[in-house]
Amino acid sequence: MTTTTPSSKADHGLRCHALDVEIGARPVARELDLVLRPGEFWGLLGANGSGKTTLLRHFAGLLPPAGGTLSLDGRPLARWPRRELARSLGMMQQHADYVFDASVLDVALTGRHPYLGPWQRESRDDRDHAMRALATVDLASLADRPVTRLSGGEARRLAFAALLVQSPDTLLLDEPTNHLDFRHQVSVMRTVGNHVYGDGRLAVAALHDVNLAATYCSHVLLLYGEGEWQAGPAPDLLNMDNLERLYQCPVTVVDTPDGRRFHPSFSRLSDGPSAD
């Protein structure tokens, strides 16, 4: 008889040990040693092409690492059965291309699939759960609309709603605020923050908006290129020197009533268009 020892609370979360991640032969992260714990909201930052999506896909168990190990809640990620993993970890992909005329509600309900048996249909509770998620992202009034008739921003919010319906303990989000207006950017980040800081979940989001990361994330992982990385509390790492190195662009730091904010320093850009 085989017995399973429950993982201790110290094991909970996503643990990288000497993790090597590559795109082809190009390193994304070398010797990544990191523990991402419940109650932490990580912002994954880096220039275009730095490998943020690739790293998230490794965290989701969708790609094998070039070296090292990755575990979730004390168990190697590769040993998780896929259905069981989907109940504990979910990923909002960067692109959601809807080619079939399923309804908005039907797509949201896909988040319940890890909890259903073969041929089992969604229950009333499942549908109620999905409708609450759609209400959270301001799509409840469009529940019956075909997804092929959604705008880009509406499609992004639907992908986020499906992740909320899935309700995993670990949320991975690839550019969740892409295509969203100011109000919905704030709504998505605040909702993720509520799940992290209120419910004790773990979230990792690839972001391009440094100010959203500074506002909502407790920690950041910076991908500098060529396998170099830096990780730690957001207030410690989000500074002018690190951001200029990260984006190869001069940065201005502004202290506001809402906290420190970062912007490109247009006056220090030498290769931009002239004002003439």
Q: Tell me, what's the pLDDT at 167?
A: 97
- Is 80 exceeded by the pLDDT of residue 2? no
How many Cα atoms occupy the beta-carbon half-sphere of 165 within 13 Å? 32
Domains along the sequence of the chain with CATH: 38-50+81-238 (3.40.50.300)
Task: Give percent of the chain with pLDDT exceeding 70.
Answer: 93
Confidence band, pLDDT 50/70/90 cuts, at residue 174: very high
Q: How do residues 62-84 score in pLDDT, each as one tens digit?
A: 999 999 999 999 999 999 999 99
How big is the chain by its Cα radius of gyration, in Å? 20
Which residues, in sequence order, are CB contacts of 114 under 8 Å at separation 6+?
Answer: 83, 86, 87, 166
Q: How do residues 83-104 score in pLDDT, each as one tens digit?
A: 999 999 999 998 877 767 899 9
- Is 50 exceeded by the pLDDT of residue 4? no
In angstroms, the Cα distances linking 97 to 93, 122, 138, 155, 202 are 10, 23, 20, 9, 27
Which residues, in sequence order, are CB contacts of 143 under 8 Å at separation 6+?
Answer: 103, 104, 105, 108, 131, 134
Q: Tell me, what's the pLDDT at 114?
A: 94
Residues 155, 16: Cα–Cα separation, whole Å? 32
- Is 70 exceeded by the pLDDT of residue 158? yes
Tokens at 119, concatenated: 């041929």
- Is 90 exceeded by the pLDDT of residue 190? yes
| Under 8 Å between Cβ of 208 and 221 | no
Q: Tell me, what's the pLDDT at 125?
A: 95
Q: How do residues 104-144 score in pLDDT, each as one tens digit?
A: 999 999 999 999 888 888 899 999 999 999 999 999 999 99
Could you tell me which of 182, 202, 224 has the C-alpha nearest to residue 50?
224
- Phi and psi, residue 122, nearest 5°: -65, 140
In angstroms, the Cα distances linking 259 to 39, 94, 112, 237, 254 are 21, 28, 38, 15, 8
Lowest-pLDDT range of 7-16, 24-33, 49-58, 80-89: 7-16
Full-model pTM:
0.92
